[in-house]
Structures are given as C-alpha cells and as structure tokens.
Chain A
Amino acid sequence: MVFLLLRRLVQTALILLGVAAITFLLLYALPADPARMIAGRSATAQTVANIRRELGLDQPLLVQFWSYLQGLFQGDLGRSYAQKTDVGALIAARLPATLILMAAGIAVEVVLGVFLGVLAAVRRGGFVDRAVMMASFVGVSAPQFVAALLLLYVFAVTLAWFPMSGFGTPAHVVLPALTLGVLGAGWYARMVRSAMIDVLNQDYVRTARAKGLSSARIIFRHALPNALLPIIAMIGIDIGQFMSGVVVVEAVYGWPGIGQLAWQAIQQVDIPIIMGVTLVSALAIVLGNLIADILAPLVDPRIRAR
C-alpha cells in the first residue's frame, strides 16, 4: 500500500507537470492576445505594450513557463489578468461549492443507479428491466441543459419546493445534485445490471439458493458486493469529472462552482485562471482514480491478495 501511494505520488507530479506544459503551450499558441483583451478598445498601442510588459508576456515562452513553474512549486498559481487577484484564492473560494455538488451528485447517482441496476438484474427480461433500461438510456443521452431547466421549472417554479438558484442551504443543492445524479445514474444502472446478472449466474449463488437463503439475503449479502467493483472505478472517474466543473448545471442553478470561473476565464483569455482550473481538475482526476484504487481492495479481498 505504501509502495502504491509513493508510486502514485510520483506519477501525479509527472502528470501535473505534463498537463501544465501542454496547457501552457496551447494557451500561448492561441492567436488571441491577453494584453489586448485587458486593454480593451480605447487603449493606445503604448498602453497595450505596457500591459504586456507588466504581465511578462513580452518574455520568451520558455522563460514565462519557467517562472510559472517556479511559482507553482511554491504553491502560487499566479494572478488573474482580468481580476488582478490571486488565482489560488479565486479557486479556493469556489472549491466548497464544487465539492458539495460533486459529493451530492455522486451520492444520487450511486443510490439511484445501484437500486435500479439491481432491480433490473433481478427482474431481467421483464417489464421493470426494460423500463429501467429505457429510462437509463434517456438519462445518459439527455442534454444537461434541458434536464436542468425541466427540473427547475417543475420543482422550483411550478411546485416551489426548492429555491431556483443560489448556494448556501441544503435545499439549494437538491436540484443541481438531482440533475447530475438522475442523468448519471443511467451509467451506473447499466453497469450494475450487467455485473449483477453475471454474479447471479455464478455457482455460489446457485448454492446459496439451494441452501434455502432468502432472495434478499442472496442479492444484498452475497451478490451485490461482488458486483460493486466497477462502480468504485466509475466513482473515481466522476470525482475527476465533477471537479473539473459542470458548467451547464452550474450556470442554470447559479451554482458558484469552478466551472463558471473557468468558462468566464476562457472568454477573457485569462490564462492564469485557465491554467489553475486545469491543474486542479487534473489533480482531481488523478486523486479520484487513486481513491478508487485504494477502495477497491477494501471492497474486494481478491484484489488484496494479488
């Protein structure tokens, strides 16, 4: 385990370095000029040149990248071009909202997805199975924008059960989490269904049945734990995805997450913010997978033995 962690730590550092280098080079290869975006329309050539110099944009690319890396090693993500404030602080301010939505969204996905998946597997071929598969198909293909507006319209505008937008109380997180969760649950349901069907056909399940165990005990005690492994890996992926921002859902519900920050920064060619958000997302993806790798042996002893 210690060895795994150490290896992962080194890998993480290398991945982040790679992501930083690629993002940096891509952003600076764009034809858009950050100094001109800041300077706006009325600025004279002298003003633009001054801004470019003050931001260090007149330096060779490698010098710029090196000084960015130096900052990074000291935990400094730089200063936003447009907001003239510390990027680390801007991201930190939005991190709680992003984490809450990530956790709530994944919780809905898992609970709903596992429940439906088990249901469909147990009733394989029947009406329930087909209904669940149909629903999950709709879920995974529905655009987030439509689903978010639909939920908003029904539960916030018409029924007024939840606030329409904002952040702060538990009620605020319900609709955004449902949007992410309901749509994402489709993947989980399909995954759990096929894993469960696999497991339910195994000899030991037949043995359990022969022993006369109740179906509930067979499904939840004997079969489900063995079907959960792929779910853990999916959670790991979702942690990374939701941490890099769910722009559409954040926009519809006025959720102050990291996605909105990134979106606006891209519009303004605010490179330090784009870099910062990209690195945080990359870190989240790596961490998400690491968490999945750590959890897997806890759930499935067979992996521990390997």
Chain B
Amino acid sequence: MFKRWLRNSTVATALMLAPLPAFAQDAPKQGGDIVITYKDDIATLDPAIGYDWVNWSMIKSLFSRLMDYTPGTTELVPSLAESFEVAPDGLTYTFKLRKGAKFTNGREIVADDVKYSIERAVDPKTQGPGAGFFGAIKGFDDVTGGKTTTLEGIEAPDASTVVFHLSRPDATFLHVLAVNFASVVPKEAVEAAAGDFGKKPVGSGTFILKDWTVGQSLTFERNPDYFIKDMPHIDKFTVEVGQEPLVALLRLQKGEVDIAGDGIPPAKFLEIKNSPEGAEIIVDGQQLHTGYVTLNTKVKPFDDVKVRQAVNMAINKERITRILNGRATPANQPLPPLMPGYDKAYTGYAFDVEKAKALLAEAGHPDGFETVLYSTNTDPQPRIAQAIQQDLAAVGIKAEVRALAQANVIAAGGTEGEAPMIWSGGMAWIADFPDPSNFYGPILGCSGAVQGGWNWSWYCNEDLDKRAVAADSMSDPAKAGERQAAWGKIFTDIMADAPWVPVTNERRVVAKSPRMGGAGEIYVDPTRVINYDAIYVKQ
C-alpha cells in the first residue's frame, strides 16, 4: 500500500503563477530584453559541475528538475514531475513525468533521461561537487567507488515513470531532487559537446543559451516551449561579465544596465540609499545565511566550554551589523530565521562583557589568553575581524588577526589543530536547500570534523549525530512539524556547547533599474538568488 498524495500539474501551475501577497503591487508583464552584470566570469553552465552563486541561478533557469520551488519562497513543488508518491517506509519514491515536456533540442523528456542525469552527477568521471547529495540512493557507493556507472536504485519502468529506491530514509530527498545537480540533461547533447557541455548546455528550462562570448557576455533567450505557460516573463537577458561593481552601478544609474548582480559596494551604499531613486534601486532580501566564528574545540583553551561561552558573550554583534551598513541582523543560533526549524523563542548568549570576564576567570583565565583569528582578506571581512579582535581585547583575549586568501583559510580550517578561531565572512554557510539538516552534517556534525572538512570547530557530539539521523529518517510529510521541532532543538542544544559564535544573518543586496518589476524576493530568491523566471519589466 502506498500512501499517496497526488499533486497534478494544474495545481502546481496555479501555485507557481498565483500572485504572492508581496507581488501584488503590479501584475507581471510579458516581454523585455534586459542586461545583467557580474564581476566574475561564468565558470560553467554544466548542472553537474556548477556550484557558485552566480552560475547557480542561471543553471536553475536553463534546466528543469523533478522538483522546484515557488518563486521567492522555500515552498517545494513538483516541476518536471507531474505527481509523485512516497512509500510509507520512506524508501521508495515514484515520479510521473509531465507529458509533452521537451528539451530545447526538440526531443521529449523520458524517464531514462532522469536516470542518466543523476548517474552522470554521481559518476566520479564527471568530477562534480554534488555527488554526495544522492548518497541515499541504492547503489550509490558502487558508483562512487568506481564499480559501476549505473545506479541500481533508479528505475525507469516506462517512459514517463521514474522510481527511486533508497538505502535509508532521507527526509530531504525531495529537496535533493530540486538542487541543480539533479537537473535533467539530454545524453545526446552531453556526448555531442565532447566534454564541453558546460559551455554548450542544452536543457528544458525557461531559457536557452543563445550565445556565449567567452570572458564578455552570455545571451539567454526565452524557451517558447517551456512546459509551464506564461513562464518566464522576460524575452531575453544578456549577462555581461568582468564588470567592476562600482562601474556596473554607474551604468545602472545611466540606464545601461538593469540588474547589477554584485549589489552595491559598501562605499557607495549610503549615497545610493539616500538618492531619490534609492528605494527603487536597492533590493535586499533574506537568504539562508549565517555568519559565524568557529571556536576550535581541539585547540586550547577552546576545548573548555566555559571559554567558548565567554567568547559568545564578548562579541558585539550590533556593531558588526553596522559595519555591514545595516544589511544584516544579529544571529543567536546556527539556523537563519528563514529556515524551517529556526527557534524564535531562543535568545542565545546576550552581549555581556562582565559576565564573559567572570566566565573566563572561572575557567582559569582571569587575564585572558593569546590566540589567532583567521579571516578572508576581501573587504569588509578584515574590518569585521578587527571589530571582533577589539571585542575580545575588552575581555582580555589577545587575538592576532590573520587575513588570508579564501582558499588558504579553508585549508587552515580543515587541518586539525591549526586555526583556533575563524571568522566565516565570505565563506559562510548558505544553505543548498531550505532544510535544517543542510546546516548540520558538513559544518557541525562529526562527518565534517575530518581532515579537509568544513566543520572548523572540530565539534563532534555523537548524541546529536544520532538525533540528526533520527530526524532525517522522518520522511513522512505528516511528521514534518515534529521533524522541524527536532531539528530546531538540535541546533539550540548545540549552542549549549557553544562551538560557534553565530554572528549575523546577512541579507543579500542586488541593485536593479527602476524599470524592473516584482518583489524583492524574486531578486534575492532564497533558493537561487536572482530568479530569472519570475522577474519582469514594467511597461
């Protein structure tokens, strides 16, 4: 017996097109040709490989996946899937594909394409970063171990049905099918590109890549055959790369650019904010982001929980939000407020210099101690590290700030006993998908506390690890509330051990020209940053 909850495509379509309350200002219009700028070049548009915040949103729009999110929200909806059902034990997922959905090369999408695409993402030969997301699918270890290239856990009984067999229940599995690595690609186009699919992508998303002048610009055109009607809204967008954010902003003010993807440089922020059209230009939105300081539990004296708690009380988070031009709010727990499971009632450690000093004295450091604080070396991160340094000095802790290139900080964090404290700015965790479990394993769980890992606190609490596994086994949607509460409790319990100082939840800022319409949530979409499918030009 399958428990069954069918969501058919018309409901999904209605959901995706239903104006959100925030959108109510004006109805999306069809048409328009816009220019978007980024500083960095686009590395690749291959969905099995691309994993930076700039190409993430482009890949989202070039390809489609079984599942997706309602624009501007964290609400999961079927996309390329018309419906799905989950077995009661949470080990079998059956998807019916939408009829008539086509790749932009004209071929209809069949179940085998889904199987091929996920196997490709997992295959070590692809060198993709996302293989681990699919770890719950049966046969995963055989593929990553190089024994075979086909996942026994994916079946395509007929052209429009895909069945996934899992080796363990995974409550995040539907989210996993919505990440870019699960994008459906046509095998013939991958093979025709001969290793260059990242520059010659073919998908079934809202847009088609028409032209790519390496190092200069990319042109995307609306896919007229996209399977959801009236999506996307704009006809065409050109991405210009190599554009200095300051110059991009000047061009935006002159009307040459519609969206400056890198936002507003700190030095310009107040000027723009106070300009007459400032309110229309600045879009800022919450993202699934927490900035934190890791306290290395394997380095003295941070092996003492009292010291970690004291540091939590010593840092003036309000001041750091001011360095960020107020584009952040102080954080008190690892989860960001937008994330399901965030505990609104939890207050964390209040800023209290006296109490911090008392705790340090109790821990045997009445005169403080010397330590090292790592940070990346791009503005404003070193300034924030200095603010933290001053706060620490106020309680007697002398921290040397070591500002390095990002890759070197990451290397230090992943080396046992190396970095006592790291300010995560510029490398902070932004969730891959809106589920609390994504904020645990790699950065706070035992599995991340390994050589080359991302758990820079080297915090490993086996009891919490067990509770995490238990929470992720609750794949019954009826238990979603219970699961969320379980996760929320895991994160507030972590704070009792204080391996992190949660510092800020930063909002992302994008600058747009006044002619661009739509709510802030589709320019800073929590699951993809700019949602090219949903933005539109006012007429």
Contact = CB atoms under 8 A, between A and B. Distances in A.
A28 B284 CA distance: 40
Contacts of A171: none
B407 A269 contact: yes
Contacts of B514: none
A41 B454 contact: yes
Contacts of B199: 85
Contact of B129 (A43, A53, A89, A252): A43
A46 B198 CA distance: 23
B161 interface: no
Interface centre among B46, B432, B453 (most CB of A within 10 A): B453
Interface residues of A, number: 53
B396 interface: no
A140 to B, nearest CB: 23
B49 interface: yes
Interface stretch (B236-244, B339-347, B354-362, B497-505): B236-244
Contacts of B40: 264
A50 interface: yes
Contacts of A66: none
A298 interface: no
Contacts of A17: none
A254 B407 contact: no
A84 B46 contact: yes
Contact of A32 (B124, B130, B242, B410): B410
B44 interface: yes
B408 A164 contact: no
A82 B54 CA distance: 14
Contacts of B453: 45
Contacts of B244: 165, 251-252, 254
A127 B410 CA distance: 57
A29 to B, nearest CB: 12
A54 B411 contact: no
Interface in A254-297: 254-256, 260-261, 264, 266-269
B215 A261 contact: yes
A167 B129 contact: no
A39 interface: yes
Interface string A18-58: 00000000000011110011111111111110110111000
B51 A83 contact: no
A164 B240 contact: no
Contacts of A30: 407-408
A164 B256 contact: yes
Nearest to A37: B407
A256 B406 CA distance: 24
A8 interface: no
Contacts of A47: 128-129, 131-132, 144
A16 interface: no
A30 B198 CA distance: 28
Contact of B215 (A40, A55, A94, A152): A94
A152 B247 contact: yes
Nearest to A152: B247
A82 B43 contact: yes
B186 interface: no
B113 interface: no
A93 interface: yes
A157 B254 contact: yes
A254 B254 CA distance: 16
Interface in A146-165: 149, 152-153, 157, 164-165
Contacts of B254: 157, 164
Contacts of B407: 30, 32-33, 37, 267-269
A31 B406 CA distance: 11
B124 A53 contact: yes
B206 to A, nearest CB: 24
A223 B385 CA distance: 59
Given A38-B127, A45-B452, A83-B43, 13 more contacts: A32-B411, A36-B414, A36-B452, A40-B129, A41-B429, A42-B438, A45-B450, A53-B124, A83-B198, A84-B49, A90-B214, A94-B214, A264-B41
23 contacts: A31-B412, A32-B405, A37-B410, A41-B429, A41-B442, A42-B130, A42-B132, A42-B133, A43-B131, A47-B128, A47-B132, A85-B44, A85-B195, A90-B214, A94-B214, A94-B215, A97-B215, A157-B250, A164-B254, A166-B216, A254-B244, A254-B247, A267-B405
